[in-house]
């Protein structure tokens, strides 16, 4: 009997020690966790978790880049590159501080952010080095027109000033607007299908207990708890360097696979999704027009479109028509890249100007974008 009591007391003491230790760690995490993560985040800058800490949620326009990021070891296609943001959370040269007035701003998704390149090798960085204008890169991965509208409207209402904004419309924006994002009456971005309770829990953990949040991420990614850790990716059907099939990218195929106004994988008519996209961009134009801010729209092909679409893509014609009486410039890169296909060859163009097995532009692709901007905005 005494042995049992002694054992129970030992268990109680052990439990109390564990409980007190846990509460102490939670206390430290709550009050000092952000400082701890800031102090040591260079240690995991090469990991996938870095993506989570440089991209922070925003209550109005969904997400943004964290301000004053300064990393020399950002994991990308090229290995390790430099990734920095300025005091506003805009991608920029390292250690940059600017005011809120800009001559020219670029906005778009991952094509504009270009996180896999050093800033000076992106088309925005090239243009910034070339021009004496005050330049802002508002682009962030996974943006689409609803976010463009919400973010620009928010910035304008909070003291920012732009003379001209160039919007790089991605072909995948139609899909994102159909399935991912929408706007409420306050011009705040709402993510479709989001589990609100789960989102609130995740945000509470992320914002209040960052060290614990990181610990959970490590556990989820460990081989012990991840059965997919050793799973192999499917090999691509065309060749090692030439990976794009006509059905591979649902975000792209609406431009070349529409039959009777329908595309497999989309709910409803493609024309209805196009109208919603145009309405969002029209609302953005009206906001800018009231403030005498010029707007331009740029369109560009991804490899699937070079393979299966034409330079007169429905995507091009859609935005060319939109720009009539609205845009200062309609910047069409389809002609530039289809000209390269004719002179250099289809496979050679994709290999030379895009990342391997990826639709994004590499350094050479970004230079093509910059060269045209340079001729328009001297």
Q: Of 233-242, 285-294, 304-313, 350-359, which range is least confident?
A: 233-242
- Place 240 in a pLDDT band, splitting at 50, 70 and 90: very low
Q: Is residue 126 within 8 Å of 371, Cβ to Cβ?
A: no
Domain boundaries, the chain: 2-41, 67-201+248-376
Which residues, in sequence order, are CB contacts of 64 under 8 Å at separation 6+?
55, 56, 58, 89, 140, 151
DSSP class of residue 247? Answer: T
Is the pLDDT score of 210 beyond 90?
no
Q: Is residue 190 within 8 Å of 181, Cβ to Cβ?
A: yes
Is the pLDDT score of 315 beyond 60?
yes
CATH 3.10.350.10 fits 67-201+248-376, yes or no: no
Give helix then strand counts, H and E, for the chain.
Answer: 14, 11
DSSP class of residue 255? Answer: G
Distances (CA, A) of 328 to 155, 278, 295: 21, 17, 6
d(CA 303, CA 306): 5
pLDDT at 258: 73
With b for 16 or more beta-carbon neighbours within 10 A and e for fewer, the 298-320 pattern comes to: bbbbbbbbbbbbebebebbebbe
Question: pLDDT by residue (tens digit) across 156-201?
Answer: 999 999 999 999 999 999 999 999 999 999 999 999 876 556 656 7
For strands 161-169 and 135-137, give the pairing. unpaired
Q: What is the dihedral of CA 259, 264, 267, 271, to 10 degrees?
A: -30
**Is the model more confident about 262 or about 366?**
366
Is the pLDDT score of 335 beyond 60?
yes
Task: Enter the pTM of the model.
Answer: 0.81
Helix orientation angle between 196-208 and 210-221, rounded to the nearest 10 degrees:
120
Within the chain, residue ranges assigned H as helices are: 2-40, 49-54, 110-113, 123-130, 145-156, 173-179, 196-208, 210-221, 270-290, 303-308, 314-323, 334-344, 346-353, 363-376
Distances (CA, A) of 151 to 16, 93, 135, 162, 212: 49, 21, 17, 13, 30
Question: pLDDT by residue (tens digit) across 247-305?
Answer: 557 889 899 887 778 888 888 899 999 999 999 999 999 999 999 999 999 999 999 99
């Amino acid at each position: 009997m005494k042995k049992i009591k002694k054992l129970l007391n030992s268990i109680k003491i052990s439990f109390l020690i564990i409980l007190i230790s846990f509460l102490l760690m939670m206390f430290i995490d709550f009050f000092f966790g952000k400082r701890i993560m800031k102090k040591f985040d260079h240690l995991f800058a090469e990991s996938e978790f870095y993506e989570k800490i440089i991209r922070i949620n925003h209550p109005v326009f969904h997400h943004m880049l964290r301000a004053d990021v300064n990393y020399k070891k950002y994991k990308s296609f090229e290995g390790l590159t430099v990734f920095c943001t300025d005091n506003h959370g805009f991608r920029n040269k390292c250690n940059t501080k600017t005011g809120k007035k800009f001559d020219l701003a670029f906005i778009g998704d991952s094509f504009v952010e270009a996180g896999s390149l050093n800033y000076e090798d992106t088309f925005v960085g090239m243009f910034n080095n070339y021009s004496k204008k005050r330049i802002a890169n508002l682009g962030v991965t996974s943006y689409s027109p609803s976010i463009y509208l919400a973010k620009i409207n928010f910035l304008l209402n909070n003291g920012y000033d732009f003379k001209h904004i160039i919007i790089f419309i991605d072909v995948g924006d139609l899909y994102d607007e159909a399935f991912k994002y929408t706007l409420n009456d306050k011009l705040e971005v709402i993510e479709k299908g989001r589990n609100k309770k789960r989102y609130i829990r995740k945000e509470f953990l992320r914002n209040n207990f960052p060290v614990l949040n990181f610990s959970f991420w490590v556990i989820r990614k460990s081989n012990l708890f991840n059965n997919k850790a050793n799973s192999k990716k499917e090999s691509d059907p065309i060749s090692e360097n030439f990976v794009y099939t006509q059905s591979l990218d649902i975000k792209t195929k609406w431009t070349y696979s529409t039959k009777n106004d329908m595309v497999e994988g989309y709910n409803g008519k493609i024309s209805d999704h196009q109208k919603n996209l145009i309405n969002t961009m029209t609302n953005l134009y009206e906001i800018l027009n009231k403030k005498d801010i010029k707007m331009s729209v740029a369109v560009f092909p991804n490899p699937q479109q070079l393979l299966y679409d034409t330079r007169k893509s429905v995507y091009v014609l859609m935005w060319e028509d939109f720009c009539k009486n609205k845009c200062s410039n309609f910047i069409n890169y389809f002609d530039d890249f289809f000209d390269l296909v004719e002179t250099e060859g289809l496979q050679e163009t994709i290999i030379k100007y895009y990342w391997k097995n990826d639709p994004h532009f590499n350094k050479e692709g970004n230079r093509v974008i910059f060269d045209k901007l340079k001729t328009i905005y001297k």
